[in-house]
C-alpha cells in the first residue's frame, strides 16, 4: 500500500507518527512531503497507486491548500492530524471528507488501526452502499452539525 505523509516541520507528534508508520508499513511505500508543491508533484506522478494520505496540519491555512488539491486526492483515503480542536478548522476539515480526523495530542491508536486495516486489504465503503463485513465507515458520512 502506498501512502503520502505530509508535515511542515518535524516535532514530537510527527516523530511519533513516523514511528507508527515504520511499524505498520515498509518505508519504500511511504512518500514524505514538507510542502504543497511537493504534494502536487507526487500526486501528478503517483496518484494511481496512492491509497491513503496523512496530513499533519499545523495551521488552518493548510486545510485551505488541501481543498485546492481535493480533485487530485479523489479516491485517496485522507487522515488528518489537527493541531487543536477549533470549530473553524473542523468546518473546513468536513469539506475534505476525511476517513479519520484526530488531534496532535492523541496516542494515534485510531491511526494505527486504520492503517493496519487498509494494509490488510479492508476497504472503505460509504454507509449508503452497504457493507461487506470488513468495511469501516467515516463519521463524515453522517450529517454533522457545527
Sorted by where each begins, the domain ranges of the chain are 2-141
pTM for this entry: 0.79
pLDDT in tens, 44-58: 876 677 888 999 988
Q: What is the mean pLDDT of the chain?
A: 79
Yes or no: domain 2-141 corresponds to CATH 3.40.50.2300: yes
Contact 80, 98 (CB under 8 A): yes
Contact 111, 17 (CB under 8 A): yes
pLDDT in tens, 94-139: 788 888 888 888 788 899 988 888 888 887 754 444 444 444 445 4
Pairing relationship of beta strands 77-82 and 100-103 according to DSSP bridges = parallel
Amino acid at each position: 500500500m502506498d501512502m503520502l505523509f505530509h508535515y511542515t516541520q518535524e516535532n514530537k507528534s510527527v516523530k511519533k507518527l513516523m514511528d507508527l508508520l515504520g511499524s505498520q508499513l515498509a518505508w519504500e511505500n511511504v512518500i514524505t512531503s514538507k510542502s504543497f508543491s511537493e504534494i502536487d508533484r507526487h500526486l501528478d506522478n503517483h496518484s494511481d497507486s496512492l491509497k491513503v494520505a496523512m496530513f499533519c496540519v499545523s495551521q488552518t491555512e493548510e486545510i485551505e491548500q488541501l481543498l485546492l488539491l481535493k480533485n487530485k486526492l479523489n479516491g485517496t483515503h485522507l487522515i488528518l492530524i489537527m493541531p487543536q480542536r477549533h470549530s473553524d478548522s473542523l468546518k473546513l476539515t468536513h469539506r475534505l471528507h476525511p476517513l479519520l480526523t484526530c488531534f496532535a495530542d492523541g496516542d494515534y491508536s485510531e491511526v494505527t488501526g486504520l492503517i493496519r486495516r487498509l494494509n490488510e486489504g479492508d476497504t472503505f465503503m460509504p454507509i449508503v452502499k452497504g457493507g461487506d463485513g470488513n468495511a469501516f465507515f467515516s463519521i463524515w458520512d453522517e450529517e454533522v452539525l457545527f
